[in-house]
Structure 1
Amino acid sequence: MKKRIALLIVAVMLFSLPVTSLAAETTKDIHVPKAGITPDSWLYGLDNFMKELHLLVTFNVADKAGLLDDISGERLAEALKMVEENKGEYALTAMKEYKSALEDIVEVLDKAILDEKDMRSVIDKINSNRLDRKELIDVILGNMSDEIRSEIEKSLSAAKDELEITIEVTDLEEDDDDLQDSNNADDNEDSGDKSEVIDDESDAEAKDESKKDEKSTVEDIDSEEGEVELPLKKVVTAKILEETIGVDTAQKFVLGELNLRQILAVSSLAEQTEKTFEEVLTVFLENEKGIGATAKALGLHPKDALKEIKKVFKGTKSQIKADFAEAKQEVKAGIVNESPEENLGEDKQIADNKDNSSDKDDDDDDDDDKYYDDDKDDD
């Protein structure tokens, strides 16, 4: 009897240890924020109350966003601690609090956008932490049971996506190069089969192959400063802008006159007001690229305008990610595409030719009318 009990205890220990050690081992090379009071403590509610009080008396919008980011990191650390101790329900509680903190950050940033507040002092920190914590989130979710994970995974993903889009809209001056790493990470994150994901080495191979072929997806663009190499990601983006907005706008993007974020914001506002891109761009520049001020100048409710802008950002980003993945596969397969710059030039030439043809037809019509009038006078 004693022997059976001893074997049972050993079996329980063997089955319980791997989960704990796996979580700890997986996070060995990941930066983990400092945990606060965990949800299994009777002091957890008091800890939450004190944090809410701290936020209530923090009036500077940048400081409040930074504080919320710190709280979100603390929640992740608490969730990790709970999964390491095999307390799945408490880990779920901490992850729900983490999601809530992300939603609060979005709310603060939205207000900052509409009030034209300068958030550069904190936005880089929030974005950096967002990227750094992706692996930590994967570890936490991976150590939850399927039943518990299903309660948070979908809503958490939506909150993370919303924060990412909001960060981009918050800083319209940021160069679009920062989107490349983000989208590559998203490609890997969204794919369930790791064997189908193009890894960094494949990306490097694709870049090397594209550089070897002058007619491939990497092109040299003439500018006042000389020749500029156009990356594959930018080629894909330019093509999408050409198809959805217009050739002139795509050329502004390629030549660096406007970045992607600014183009999408202006395009959305133009669609909301049924004005041309150029008309809204003029108002946008007059209002120093402020979304709130531009929306008011166009007669839009700023909050509603921002909501629509985010939809455009989300939809375009999703399209870029899908088309970029397809383009990388084509480059790897050796499929040669026409130069995007040639495409833009050809489309613009066709448009110009149509305009010239239309003008010529108008001139011919005028001549016919004049001839007809002369005949009437002769009669």
Structure 2
Amino acid sequence: MAALGAGALLVSVGDATGPVPGLVPWQADVAVGVVACLALLLRRRWPLALAALVVPLGAVSIMASGAILGAVFGLALRRRFTVAAGFAAGYLATAPVYLLLQREPRFSLWTDVVVRGVLATAAVGWGLYARERQVLIRHLGERAARAEAEQAGRIARARRDERDQIAREMHDVLAHRLSMISLHAGALELHPAVSADVHDAAGVIRAGAHEALEELRAVIGVLRHGAGDEPEPPQPGLEEVGDLVADARRCGNEVGFDDRLADAGVPSPPGATGRVAYRVVQEALTNARKHAPGSPVSLVVDGGPGDGLRIEVSNPASASAAAGSVPGSGLGLVGLAERVELAGGRLAHGMAAGRFRLEVRLPWLV
């Protein structure tokens, strides 16, 4: 439609409808131009052949100019610049022939050449711009897809690393407990006051604990590859959260610690819940120190054996968070979410009323 409109405009103001008809009647001019415009439907499949077909028509039809410009644009979009420039020059070369076919042209040769030159240059330039834009869009799309794949890989690695860390921690916790069982069973086995049946039972318990410990080391100990042979230190629980608060205060963050468990006289949950809770508070305070240094932090811990454990940490949003880079939006929370989900809990985080808020709910496991 654009080619037909451009050709019709050139026919109405050009030489084809001059006071004295030329050797090519304007009706034939229009008919040839309309056929050339319809041939643009083949521009994507055969751009070079289309240009070779329609460009010579510029010598007999001004109506075909729209189709010619469309063909030159397609060449600039899909072929080398020199090919498009050559056909554009060919279009300019048809101007003298076209004027020779007019008995009394309205405009001079130079006017026709300048008009055709401007239109051809615009078609080539527009085609080059569209080609570069397509290349840029494709490049940006590939970069976005690559970045998305890399981010997915980093998230998967963070989750895998967190699972490996949990397995190493559980290895040491279970190894310690099995060692204690074996130790007490050995002491009971050697006690002179026990009966023969108790002596035999203690021996079975000691041997079973020792075998379980060896199997545990064989199955999970492979996770220590690259991490050294030293065992993990004793895993802290919720009772050690006060140390984390003290460290955060020494680093410049004023932490308001509302320990509702202690206020209500509820003992801290031991075992898995306590270890996961410690890790949650550690990651939350680290994020606050990293993304909002010097800001006041609110820490609330409450719950009970029937309701589960709830941990809420919030701090004012920093300037980077307001601009879209929320605190804790990296891979630390990805691993933390993996740990919480494996413990049967839920993690939620986000912005609310100008503050970054992290809330975790855990079952009261022992």
Taking structure 1 as the reference length, what is the TM-score of the superposition? 0.20
| Greater RCO (CA < 8 Å, at least 6 residues apart) | 1
- The structure with the largest strand share of the pair is 2
- The structure with the largest helix share of the pair is 1
Taking structure 2 as the reference length, what is the TM-score of the superposition? 0.21
Work out which of the two has the higher radius of gyration on C-alpha atoms and give 1 or 2. Answer: 2
